[in-house]
């Protein structure tokens, strides 16, 4: 199941969303042009066993890893989800609030993945945790918004409309189940970063929605 389009326009110019997409693209190009790709990854990606909370300088990868990607498909798929669901979320939180949700969710996602494998030497990189936070916020704020979705079955491929609660809820369930299946192993997709980021974005949106209605936000 692949989301194709959010059918509810945000009626804003999603400046921060586009700037985040540009920042991720530029950082990926720096990554590709690094003279020593391995050294670059181990310096800026999040390697759990290199984290020492007694030494703050080892915590920078919680931030820098959000802007690195494992390849073109990884980058494009992440930016696709960010573009689809970022504009409405940005419209609710405003530019500064939206950026804060993005970064906090990314940090929370990295911390969640770290908690499930603090001794791992496998680098973790990608904006997935931060973008999962955007998805988590979206599902709380706009659960009934329709999402045009490409549905794959064993015999057909069709385009259908699904409420965000179903489309993104399905995505989250897959991440959670896959994450549980990776407990005790190293490498592969950082599913718990997705889970942690999604839960953080959803929690922030839930609190802010109760504090103030969307119309009160810039």
Which residues form the catalytic set? 128, 194
* Dihedral sign (CA 50, 53, 57, 61): positive
DSSP 185: -
47, with CB counted inside 10 A (0-12, 13-18, 19+), is: buried
- Residues 6 or more apart whose CB falls under 8 angstroms from that of 12 comprise 87, 90, 91
Beta bridge partners of 6: 147
Name the strands in the sheet holding 2-6, side by side, starting at the edge strand that comes first in the sequence: 2-6, 146-152, 157-163
> Of 178, 139, 170, which is closest to residue 2 (Cα–Cα)?
170
């Amino acid at each position: 199941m692949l989301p194709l389009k959010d059918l509810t326009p945000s009626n804003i110019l999603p400046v921060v969303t586009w700037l985040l997409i540009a920042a991720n693209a530029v950082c990926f190009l720096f990554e590709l042009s690094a003279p020593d790709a391995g050294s670059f990854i181990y310096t800026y990606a999040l390697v759990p066993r290199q984290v020492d909370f007694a030494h703050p300088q080892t915590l920078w990868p919680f931030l820098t890893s959000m802007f690195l990607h494992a390849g073109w498909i990884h980058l494009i798929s992440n930016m696709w989800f960010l573009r689809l669901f970022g504009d409405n979320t940005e419209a609710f939180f405003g530019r500064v609030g939206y950026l804060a949700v993005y970064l906090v969710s990314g940090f929370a996602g990295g911390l969640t993945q770290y908690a499930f494998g603090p001794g791992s030497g496998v680098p973790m990189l990608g904006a997935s945790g931060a973008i999962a936070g955007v998805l988590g916020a979206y599902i709380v704020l706009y659960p009934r918004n329709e999402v045009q979705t490409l549905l794959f079955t064993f015999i057909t491929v069709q385009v259908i409309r699904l409420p965000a609660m179903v489309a993104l809820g399905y995505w989250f369930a897959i991440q959670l189940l896959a994450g549980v299946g990776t407990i005790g192993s190293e490498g592969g997709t950082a599913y718990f970063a997705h889970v942690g980021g999604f839960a953080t974005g959803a929690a922030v949106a839930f609190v802010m929605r109760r504090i103030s209605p969307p119309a009160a936000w810039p």
